[in-house]
């Protein structure tokens, strides 16, 4: 059994790791005036850029905690399969910015979000029997990606 220090330290490591990886994933994201993204036609419901800068870090902390909860039950039969699914969806998540902002690919960016959405759903279903808390922590992420998918589809369609 973990002691409190190990417990807190391992959680902190998961949060720092996910935040660091998400920072690398966000490197191609340039949304300011004069950027490629700023020149795109966007639907009226597009949030202000600063909203994304608030929402994603919160979601990544929730993702890190959910991953940590699943990691803690890794010794249960089949748990490594859930962790593998989680890792794949996280990799797809992290690569989206490179596809959309880095490659300027609206259609592929939209299709990548559809893939991500499906992988998040698979993660939720696979993780349920291991940690309902982890699943509940991932629900806001799934909802935000659903919104992002609608937004990406509209941006693709309008441009």
Structurally, the chain folds into a number of domains equal to 1
Q: Report pLDDT for 3.
A: 78
Measured between its terminal Cα atoms, the distance across the chain in Å is 55
Cα separation, 122 vs 36, in Å, equals 33
Range of the domain at 125: 4-158
For residue 148, what is the domain's CATH number? 1.20.1260.100
Q: Model confidence at 6, in pLDDT bands (50, 70, 90)?
A: confident
Q: Which two tokens stand for residue 77?
A: 């039969």
pLDDT single digits (tens) 36-90: 999 999 999 999 999 999 999 999 999 999 999 999 999 999 999 999 999 999 9
Q: Which two tokens stand for residue 159?
A: 């441009």
Q: CB–CB of 117/145 below 8 Å?
A: yes
C-alpha pair distances (Å), 128 with each of 53, 62, 80, 82, 124: 29, 16, 14, 10, 6
| pTM score | 0.94
Q: Tell me 129's DSSP state.
A: T
Q: CB–CB of 117/70 below 8 Å?
A: no
């Amino acid at each position: 059994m973990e002691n409190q220090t190990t417990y807190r330290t391992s959680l902190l490591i998961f949060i720092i790791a996910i935040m660091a990886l998400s920072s690398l994933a966000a490197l191609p994201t340039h949304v300011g005036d004069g950027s490629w993204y700023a020149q795109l036609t966007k639907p009226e419901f597009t949030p202000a850029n600063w909203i994304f800068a608030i929402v994603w870090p919160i979601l990544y902390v929730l993702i890190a905690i959910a991953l940590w909860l699943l990691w803690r039950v890794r010794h249960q039969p089949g748990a490594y399969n859930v962790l593998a699914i989680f890792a794949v969806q996280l990799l797809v998540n992290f690569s989206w910015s490179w596809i959309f902002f880095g490659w300027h690919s609206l259609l592929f960016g939209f299709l990548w979000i559809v893939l991500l959405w499906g992988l998040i759903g698979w993660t939720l279903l696979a993780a349920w029997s291991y940690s309902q808390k982890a699943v509940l922590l991932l629900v806001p992420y799934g909802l935000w990606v659903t919104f992002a998918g609608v937004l990406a589809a509209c941006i693709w369609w309008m441009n």
